[in-house]
């Protein structure tokens, strides 16, 4: 099975036309991961670490590590952030880092609009030692692809990129749209990597029920202008300490992917641990045992910086 998967991935690498963005199940707890306009909107320092193992049991399946941090700059009505990410799929690896800035505009008593941009650099690596071709010879000590197009070592290519997004908070509602990337040049080498933009649309609604219960619903629609996938999530948090929820990813026969179970708890006043398990529903459900995602979140839980603090908007936070 591994040789079949790696061979398919290798063929795709030789004519790669897009940089596929990673999949995250806990997206509702980490909007900055896909929208630079969200930086600083929680009015304190936030840091997130995510580890995701997709399609467990399927060799060559995606494994992703993600780190980010963002904070407000009250004095200039702005937010800044940093994001680093590493995504490995079989013989493929994409690593990237980006810095973000946004400007936040008070558009009404209960409306805040943020316009953001990220600038970064990504590197694509193709590890030829992990490739297997049908006509190759791989019996020790011989290692030969018998294919002039396949490398034997690691081939690298990199390029800068620009991302952009907008995010609005209106009372209990949140709306956002972003593109990753807006701009990235074609890498003119034998790998033929040509990143294409992926669009994200996010909508969220927060509702406090009494003093102890908070409810959050979220929708995320992703598209590369060829295929579109939607995911809807529902989370309930009790006494600001523990939460649980579920989501469904993929509507229609061509995009059906997974049902997701989520849970988390506060380890202390500033640190939260969250976990998500994807129950596979796609055609790959016979060859994998689901996906695992672990998230560790840190919140300073107090205003930082200098200058006048922003106006208070009634928009209950989930954390």
**Chain segment 65-86, per-residue pLDDT in tens:** 999 999 999 999 999 999 999 9
**Neighbouring residues of 178: CB distance < 8 A, sequence distance ≥ 6:** 34, 35, 36, 37, 116, 163, 164, 165, 166, 199, 200, 202
Tell whether the model's pLDDT for residue 289 goes beyond 50.
yes
Residue 129 confidence (pLDDT): 85
Higher pLDDT, 251 or 24: 24
Which residues is 179 bridged to in the sheet? 164, 199
Q: Does the residue 307 lie in any domain?
A: no
- Looking at residue 5, its pLDDT comes to 40
Nearest 5 degrees, angle CA 152-CA 154-CA 155?
105
Beta-strand pair 271-280/46-53: unpaired
Angle at 302 between CA 301 and CA 306, to 5 degrees: 145
Beta bridge pairs of residue 89: 92
Taking Cα atoms as reference points, which of 103, 239, 107 lies closest to residue 171? 107
In this structure, what CATH number is given to the domain that contains residue 201?
Answer: 2.40.160.40
Phi–psi pair at 59, nearest 5 degrees = -65, 140
Number of structural domains (the chain) is: 1
- Look at residue 315 and tell me if it is in a domain: no
pLDDT at 310 (0 to 100): 54
Predicted confidence band at 2 (pLDDT cuts at 50, 70, 90)? very low
Asked whether residue 153 is domain-assigned, the answer is yes
3-state secondary structure of 51: strand
Which pLDDT score is estimated for 11? 42
For 119-175, the DSSP string reads EEEEEEEEEGGG---TT-B-STT--B---TTS-SSEEEEEEEEEEEEEEEEETTEEE
235 falls within a domain: yes
> How crowded is the C-beta side of 268, counted as CA atoms within 13 Å?
5
Domain assignment present for residue 316? The answer is no
Asked, for residue 306, whether it belongs to a domain, the answer is no
Q: Sorting pLDDT into bands at 50, 70 and 90, what band is 188? A: low
Task: Yes or no: say if 131 and 10 are a contact pair by the CB < 8 Å rule.
Answer: yes
Q: pTM of the predicted model, to two decimals?
A: 0.87
Is the confidence at residue 6, as pLDDT, over 50?
A: no
Of 142, 196, 180, which Cα lies nearest the Cα of 34?
180
The pLDDT-based confidence of 219 (bands split at 50, 70, 90) is: very high
Check if the beta carbon of residue 271 is closer than 8 Å to that of residue 257: no
Determine, yes or no, domain membership for 149. yes
Position 317 in a domain:
no
Please check the confidence at residue 314 and state whether its pLDDT lies above 50: no
| 265, two tokens | 């708890």
Mean pLDDT computed over every residue of the chain: 87
Q: Domain range holding 88?
A: 2-299
Name the more confident of 315 and 26.
26
Question: Of 229, 174, 169, 175, whose CA–CA distance to 199 is shortest?
Answer: 229
Encoded tokens for 197: 């933009």
Tokens 């008070």 found at? 106
């Amino acid at each position: 099975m591994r040789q079949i998967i790696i061979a398919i991935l290798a063929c795709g690498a030789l004519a790669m036309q897009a940089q596929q963005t990673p999949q995250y199940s806990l997206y509702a707890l980490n909007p900055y991961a896909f929208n630079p306009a969200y930086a600083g909107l929680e009015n304190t320092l936030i840091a997130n670490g995510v580890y995701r193992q997709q399609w467990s049991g399927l060799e060559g399946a995606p494994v992703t590590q993600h780190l980010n941090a963002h904070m407000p700059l009250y004095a200039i009505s702005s937010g800044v952030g940093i994001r680093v990410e590493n995504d490995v799929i079989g013989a493929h690896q994409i690593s990237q880092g980006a810095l973000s800035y946004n400007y936040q505009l008070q558009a009404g008593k209960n409306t805040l609009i943020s316009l953001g941009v990220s600038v970064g650099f990504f590197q694509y690596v193709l590890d030829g030692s992990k490739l297997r071709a049908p006509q190759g010879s791989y019996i020790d000590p011989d290692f030969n692809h018998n294919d002039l197009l396949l490398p034997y070592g690691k081939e690298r290519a990199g390029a800068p990129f620009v991302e952009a997004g907008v995010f609005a908070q209106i009372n209990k509602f949140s709306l956002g749209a972003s593109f990753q990337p807006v701009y990235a040049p074609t890498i003119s080498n034998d790998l033929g990597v040509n990143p294409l933009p992926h669009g994200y649309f996010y909508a969220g609604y927060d509702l406090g029920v009494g003093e102890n219960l908070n409810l959050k619903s979220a929708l995320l629609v992703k598209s590369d202008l060829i295929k579109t996938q939607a995911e809807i999530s529902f989370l309930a948090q009790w006494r600001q300490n523990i939460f649980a929820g579920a989501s469904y990813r993929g509507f229609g026969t061509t995009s059906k992917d997974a049902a997701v179970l989520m849970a988390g708890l506060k380890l202390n006043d500033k640190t939260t641990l969250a976990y998500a398990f994807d129950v596979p529903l796609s055609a790959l459900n016979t060859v994998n045992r689901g996906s695992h995602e672990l998230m560790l979140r840190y919140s300073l839980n107090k205003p930082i910086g200098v200058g006048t603090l922003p106006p208070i908007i009634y928009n209950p936070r989930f954390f």
